[in-house]
Amino acid sequence: MLSYPGFSFDILHHDPANRARVGRLSTPHGAIETPNYIFCGTKAALKALTPAQAREAGADIILSNTYHLLLQPGEDLVQRMGGLHKFMQWDGPMLTDSGGFQVFSLGHGSVADEIKGRNKSFDNTALLEISEQGAVFRSHIDGRKVHLSPERAMQIQRALGADLLMQFDECTPYHTTRDYTARSMEMSIRWGDRSLAEFARTHDGTQAVYGIVQGGVYEDLRRESAQYTADRSFFGTAIGGCLGGTDEEMHGVVAWSVPHIHPSRPVHFLGIGRMRDVFRFVRLGIDTFDCVIPTRLARHGNAFLQGAPGETINLKNARFRNDPEPLDPRNDIPASRDFSKAYIHHLFRSNEILGLQILAQHNVATLCRMMREIREAIKDGTLDELEQQWIA
Amino acid sequence: MLSYPGFSFDILHHDPANRARVGRLSTPHGAIETPNYIFCGTKAALKALTPAQAREAGADIILSNTYHLLLQPGEDLVQRMGGLHKFMQWDGPMLTDSGGFQVFSLGHGSVADEIKGRNKSFDNTALLEISEQGAVFRSHIDGRKVHLSPERAMQIQRALGADLLMQFDECTPYHTTRDYTARSMEMSIRWGDRSLAEFARTHDGTQAVYGIVQGGVYEDLRRESAQYTADRSFFGTAIGGCLGGTDEEMHGVVAWSVPHIHPSRPVHFLGIGRMRDVFRFVRLGIDTFDCVIPTRLARHGNAFLQGAPGETINLKNARFRNDPEPLDPRNDIPASRDFSKAYIHHLFRSNEILGLQILAQHNVATLCRMMREIREAIKDGTLDELEQQWIA
């Protein structure tokens, strides 16, 4: 059995009306309160935010992607530069994924993108082979063949040095059969054990690993996969893979999984993070979320806004040309409090990069404030009222 | 005679070995020490820097361009939004130009660009007419005809609300004849008087206007133009127009002009700001510089560096791939002190916007530190030694 002496997860409050909970997740780089939002620094950088600006916005924890860093600059270089925390100059808790999601998106591509709302951005890459051993793909950067396996994924994450790691898994898309999904889930279980064994081989107490619940849209497969993660000495549990094509299916997948996972471990929901998703899945017991949308939407002129229909407004819209009001002074940072919407509109009309910098920080700040208010509401038993204030 | 009760310029130290001086330029938005560098927020935004980041880097004063703001978002909108300071959220001293340089670049284009080291970025615009009345050009944004005259240029700058304004002038290129340059300089004198008259009509003490020395590469024309600016009640003097094709010609133009300008007014050098230019022209009595290169070079991966051959290094260069050292900890901001060159190299290789954000702030911080050290060196009589430390 692995133990994680430098890590802990304490559940401080339960919402009596549902599975929502407030927790404290401690790592060697500090502790965060949960529920919380993990912001994506895909290629070892938050899009258009310095670490200081992310901190100012209230971010507690970020992630980076194994797939991207493996290809550029390479995990060996990050390790020689002192690890990901030092490389990025982020001194707080950090998570890396295992690379599985991106690698299998190469093969299963468009459907996984559709389900997860991701852009297809791997057009020049190809998944060459999936076998029990692992996956072989072609780098979209330089065309070389790259092997990824449970062992390699853990070695890369070890070298990168984040606090929270993910087991290697196969991420199946929506259109696969039940049979393929079942066999894939069973392989992810064997890959989970290989991930744990490789992790244990070099375990030094500085990192902790999550198991991942797979099983597509099939209740029995999700239950089996969830029970597997609970039976092994993972530090945390992540819910991944195909979540279905609709909000209802996604809800079902999580509702089937959560009763069978380990009840006292932190639960991460991979790649999901619209405001309404956060409210919905906090109630099912999700502790942390991650999604690229806070910074991606910023690049397209969208600002998350409490109570806005569709959750966002688009600052490129002509109706903001004369709007002297700031985005939302409740965030209490200059990006949200001081600049007028008219100014941000002007910046996007003028292709000034400052526009997306302002929106990226505003979006992070908005989601951080929402998470803080969610934690308070769970303690106070007022989650329903809070959701009505946030979700139109 | 105009007076500027809200403004002052006090010369605190003279370098006995040359015309260099340390001064204090006070405006209704605060005072700056000179020599100083005015950073370009062309379209009401510094490229990739928030006002807070510019302040953190040490910037004291910024400028914005009348030509660009006239076209988008329009000076009326900026005025309705409370003026340029509030619009941009910059609470320090600010300068606007008169639009002349850009408008006449449309007609004289490539040569002016070449002389001033600017990119030609007005391909879709056209200068339709120059007359005694002013200039007519076609907007590169929406194709409409736009008139600009001394009166209009001052009205626009009045509406924008910067502290320091520029008279309207014609900016002649290198390839024009002496005869054209002489007639143009005389027209700029008449335009200077019309600018002053329009400025005086609505003078309320919140703004101050600079006269501009024109006259191309001709000593007698420069002298005549300089004497004109000294004879009129401008608050400050700017040196503009064609400065020649070589460093030596540029030096000559300034050396001819400076003895004839008003000795106790602040002197601005329009559009010039390489490190070696700053050292050279501080010695001739220039108090403020502006140039787009700190942020433009950052976008192309270049970092200003004390003592670097050619003044900059390019972080895209493969030799920085493994470089664990920061850019320059003497700047004492995270951008210069904390991130490794290897990390910034990675950001540019990965097309991460954060790379140019870091370099933009580093470049501003480097030039601000250089200006601070120049002010100290003038007081100490050690400008030559300082130049040797900065210029390779």
Q: Are residues A195 and A276 in the same domain?
A: yes
The CATH number of the domain holding residue B187 is: 3.20.20.105
Q: Output the DSSP codes for B251-278.
A: HHHHHHHGGGS-TTS-EEETT---HHHH
Q: What is the pLDDT of residues A209-267, one digit of tens each?
A: 999 999 999 999 999 999 999 999 999 999 998 888 888 999 999 999 999 999 999 99
Query: In this structure, is residue A2 part of a structural domain?
Result: no
Considering the domain boundaries, does residue A1 fall inside one?
no
Structure tokens at A293: 């949308």
Contact A346 B88 (CB under 8 A): no
Cβ-contact B12, B287 below 8 angstroms: no
Q: Which residues pair with B96 in a beta bridge?
A: B64
Say yes or no to pLDDT of A117 above 90: no
Q: What confidence tens digit (pLDDT) does each residue in B45-67 have?
A: 999 999 999 999 999 999 999 99
In chain A, the N- to C-terminal Cα span, in Å, equals: 47
Which pLDDT tens digit goes with each residue over B325-378? Answer: 999 999 999 999 999 999 999 999 999 999 999 999 999 999 999 999 999 999
Verify that A84 and A137 share a domain, yes or no: yes
Structure tokens at B300: 């192309």
Please check whether residues A92 and A200 belong to one and the same domain.
Answer: yes
* C-beta of residue A341 within 8 angstroms of C-beta of residue A365: no
Q: Is position A242 within any domain? A: yes
What are B261-292's pLDDT values in tens digits?
Answer: 999 999 999 999 999 999 999 999 999 999 99
B32 & B178 share domain: yes
| Interface probe with B: pick from A350, A351, A356, most Cβ of B within 10 Å | A350
Find the chain A residues whose C-beta atoms sit closer than 8 A to any C-beta of B. Answer: 43-52, 68, 72-73, 77, 80-82, 87-89, 321-322, 324, 334-335, 338-340, 342-343, 345-347, 349-350, 352-358
User: In Å, how far is B164's CA from the nearest CA of chain A?
Assistant: 22
Both B104 and B185 in one domain: the answer is yes
Closest CA to B228 of B298, B284, B169: B169
Give me A263's structure tokens: 């009840």
Give the Cα separation of B71 and B89 in Å (integer). Answer: 20
Q: Angle between the B247-257 and B275-282 helix axes, to the nearest 10 degrees?
A: 30
Instruction: Provide the domain count of chain B.
Output: 2
Q: Would A3 be classed as within a structural domain?
A: no
ipTM of predicted assembly, 2 dp: 0.95
Residues B220-241: b if buried by 16+ CB within 10 A, e if exposed: ebbbbbbbbbbebebbbbbbbb
Q: Which of B262, B291, B320 is the last residue of a domain?
A: B291
Residues A351 and A258 in one domain: no
Contact check, Cβ <8 Å, A72/B335:
no
Query: Does residue A356 share a domain with residue A229?
Result: no
- From first CA to last CA, the distance across chain B in angstroms is 47
The SS3 call for residue A32 is strand
Summarised one tens digit per residue, pLDDT across range A332-353 is: 999 999 999 999 999 999 999 9
Same domain, A258 and A340: no
**Pair B236, B338 in one domain:** no
Global pTM?
A: 0.95
Name chain A contacts of B50, Cβ cutoff 8 Å.
Answer: 334-335, 354, 357-358
Q: How far is Cα B60 from Cα B144, in angstroms, rounded to an integer? A: 36
Mention every residue, 6+ apart, whose C-beta is less than 8 A from residue A186.
none
Same domain for A265 and A326: no
Q: Based on the domain organization, do A77 and A218 belong to the same domain? A: yes
Same domain, B108 and B251: yes
Domain assignment of residue A339, given as a range: 299-390
Six token digits for residue B163: 């502290």
C-alpha to C-alpha distance for A206 and A259, rounded to whole angstroms: 29
The domain boundary residue, chosen from A253, A270, A291: A291
Q: Which of B141, B154, B150, B151 is nearest to B170 (CA)?
A: B150
Check whether A141 has a pLDDT greater than 90. no
Q: Check CB contact under 8 Å for A45 and B350.
A: yes
**Under an 8 A CB cutoff, do B81 and A342 touch?**
yes
Which of B275, B291, B307 is the last residue in one of the domains? B291
